[in-house]
Amino acid sequence: MALLSLLLLLVAVNCALSARIAGFHAVGGSQYINTRHTLEELASRGHEVMMVAASSQKIKPSEKVPHKIYQVPYKPGFLEDLLVRLQLEGHQLQFMFKMYEALASVCEAALNSTGILKELKDFDLIVYDGLSICAVLIGEHLNIPRIEIVPAPPNSPVGFMHMIPMPVSYVPQLLTGFTDKMTFMERVMNLGAYLGGLVMTNLAFARPMNALKVKYNIKPERDFKEALRDAELILITADFELEYPQPLLPGQIMVGPLNVRDPRPLPPDLEEFVSNSGGHGFIIVSFGSNVAILRQSVIDMLATAFGKLKQRVVWRLKGYIPSSLASNIKAVDWLPQNDLLAHKDIKAFVSHVGHNSLYEAAYHGVPLVAFPLYGDQHANAKKAEHFSLGLTVDFESMNAQQMFETTELVITEPRFKQNAKRISALLKDRQRTPLQETCDWIEYVLRHGGARHLKPQVFNIPWYQYYLLDVMAFLVAVVTLVFMAIRMLCRLLCRLCCQGKTKTKKE
């Protein structure tokens, strides 16, 4: 009876502590993976979870996480087909506006899905990534607390919306690619990038979301940015071992990369291929979800360069595949990136250096050949060079021989491996894994009914007070008045003196 009573008590306690947690996702493969991994960890802790995802997202089945899909007016891969090509062609402003236009369209589709809104009604918490901004409107509409996972460093454009402190004198704007040691002209350009980012997030980001708030009557009197900053916590998937130090507010927490984990055994055919390299090891090549956007001429150039290596090459390649690949190259539709990066024989990683891939390589101590294509990837590539994790190549101007020599240098130069191992040791030196720490914070919010005590007053003051413009205006006014008073006094004294001299002469 005592044992039975104990079991019943444990079940009751578990039920009392469990919560209903929904993940919300709009666009982006790596963002989906982060949210899904978080929900899987929460499910293993006894919580009831559900993932809400757009129909344009490629879903990976999960026994722990049931999915609910809402229909959007885009097909899978639209992000690459429509938006990424604009940026590759150099149309940066057009890319930004099209991106936020697509996000607003996806959001409207979610708001029109009465079935999804009904499913979410009784949930205790919404967890979402930085691009799935419609979760803000849904949370506000259904009165559900939210936690945002930022899949980027704290100095990214997302930081503007969350009032993350970014002193421009030593915190570089992400897209500038500067380090924290800036010259005078770099600081001038950094200030320009900061002000431009503020304007852009208001024009292309906040305005369309405010229009949706009005259209669907979701507290239209309240600005979208105010609603966005109501998130209980901001969990940033970055680590200062690989970022430039900067201040954060109490509710903005660096949890590290959520996509890293202990390695699992490779498929037998892949294990056989990478292990039989004659002692030379292997490299992997992957450009993430951008695998299909490279031109045929670039793929041919890469195939020629990799064919000259002594190492085996596992290359994630879809669509166009060169007719004759060297025997050391294995082209695959998909590869277990985390497990390959953790393999003892890996020598280097040729990557587009998206945020997740950069951290995954650093976590496993693998040198990088950075092959940036667009967006933050160029800044990430410069960061990889700054921390001596590898070298960067320009896919527009690189030829096969240069690509071969750069890859070989990254493989053979000891400093790249040494620095990768050093940063790997720093990233792993923590009591809890990034995923565990993320879920610990989520449960902290659930236990205490929120985390309002971590919110500073900065969220409740207007922008001119935040930048002390009212104080500066007051000080300028005081100094001006004092200067004018002194000037008037001096003129009055001069007149009195002049009048006194005139009288003396007449006398």
pLDDT value of residue 74: 82
User: Does 3 fall in a domain?
Assistant: no
Residues 231, 99, single domain; the answer is yes
Lowest mean pLDDT among 69-78, 197-206, 286-295, 419-428: 286-295
- Cα-based distances in Å from 360 to 185, 238, 276, 356: 33, 11, 24, 6
More confident residue, 426 or 293: 426
Q: Choose between 285 and 320: higher pLDDT.
A: 285
Residues 203 and 287 in one domain: no
The answer to whether 172 touches 159, Cβ cutoff 8 Å, is no
What value does the mean pLDDT take over residues 27-37? 88
> Which region among 13-17, 119-123, 269-273, 486-490 has the lowest average model confidence (pLDDT)?
13-17
Residue 35: inside a domain, yes or no? yes
Reading the block at residue 37, the tokens are 């991994």
pLDDT at 440: 96
- Per the prediction, the chain carries an average pLDDT of 88
The arithmetic mean of pLDDT across residues 270-280, rounded, is: 90
Asked whether 135 and 128 are in contact (CB, 8 A), the reply is yes
Q: Strand ranges (DSSP E) for 16-73?
A: 20-25, 48-54, 67-70
State yes or no: pLDDT of 410 exceeds 70. yes
- State the average pLDDT over residues 188-195: 93
Indicate whether 414 pLDDT > 90: yes
Give the model's pLDDT for residue 506. Answer: 53
**Does residue 299 belong to any structural domain of this protein?**
yes
14 or 70: which leads in pLDDT? 70
Query: Given this model, what pLDDT does residue 112 score?
Result: 93
Percent of the chain scored above 90 by pLDDT? 62
Counted domains in the chain: 2
Do the domain assignments include residue 154?
yes
**Residues 300 and 194 both lie in one domain:** no
The three-class DSSP label of residue 103 is helix
Residue 477 lies inside a defined structural domain of this protein: no
Q: Does 110 lie in the same domain as 240?
A: yes
Average pLDDT over residues 438-455: 94
CATH of the domain at 424: 3.40.50.2000
**Residues 76 and 114 reside in one and the same domain:** yes
Distance CA 420, CA 424 (A): 6
Q: Edge-to-edge, what's the strand order for the sheet holding 312-316?
A: 329-332, 312-316, 282-286, 346-351, 368-370, 390-392
Q: 367-398, pLDDT tens digit by residue? A: 999 999 887 899 999 999 999 999 999 988 89
* Per-residue pLDDT at 232: 95
Confidence class of residue 68 from pLDDT cuts 50, 70 and 90? very high
Spatial contact of 376 and 382, defined as CB atoms under 8 Å apart: no
pLDDT band at 83; cut points 50, 70, 90: low
The pLDDT assigned to 257 comes to 94
- Smallest Cα–Cα separation from 444: which of 15, 98, 17? 17
Task: Please check the confidence at residue 1 and state whether its pLDDT lies above 60.
Answer: no
- Does 294 lie in the same domain as 250? no
Q: Does residue 81 have a pLDDT over 70?
A: no
Q: Is the pLDDT of residue 504 over 60?
A: no
Residue 408 has what pLDDT? 96
Which of the two residues, 13 and 228, has the higher pLDDT score? 228
- Residue 327 counted as domain residue: yes
pLDDT (0 to 100) of residue 15: 42
Residues 255 and 274 in one domain: no
Does 6 score more than 50 pLDDT? Answer: no
Question: Does residue 132 have a pLDDT over 60?
Answer: yes
Q: Name the residue with higher pLDDT: 501 or 317.
A: 317
Q: Span 178-204, mean pLDDT? A: 90
Highest mean pLDDT among 4-18, 151-165, 244-258: 244-258
Q: Which DSSP string corresponds to 423-475?
A: HHHHHH-SSS-HHHHHHHHHHHHHHHT--GGG--GGGGS-HHHHTTHHHHHHH
pLDDT above 50 for 297: yes
Q: Which helix (H) or strand (E) holds 304?
A: helix 296-307
- Which residue range(s) make up the domain with 324? 268-428
Residue 498 lies in a domain: no
Q: In this model, does residue 411 exceed pLDDT 60? A: yes
Q: Give the model's pLDDT for residue 334.
A: 87
| pLDDT at res. 14 | 46
Tokens for 121? 């009604």
Identify whether residues 291 and 244 lie together within a single domain: no
Do 177 and 34 fall within a single domain?
Answer: yes
Residue range 456-472, pLDDT digits in tens: 888 888 888 888 899 99
Query: Would you say the C-alpha torsion 439, 444, 447, 453 has a positive or negative sign?
Result: negative
Is residue 91 located within the same domain as residue 186?
yes
Indicate whether 366 and 246 sit together in one domain.
no
pLDDT attached to residue 374: 82
Confidence (pLDDT) at 139 = 94
Q: Quick check: is 249 in a domain?
A: yes
In a shared domain, residues 408 and 439: no
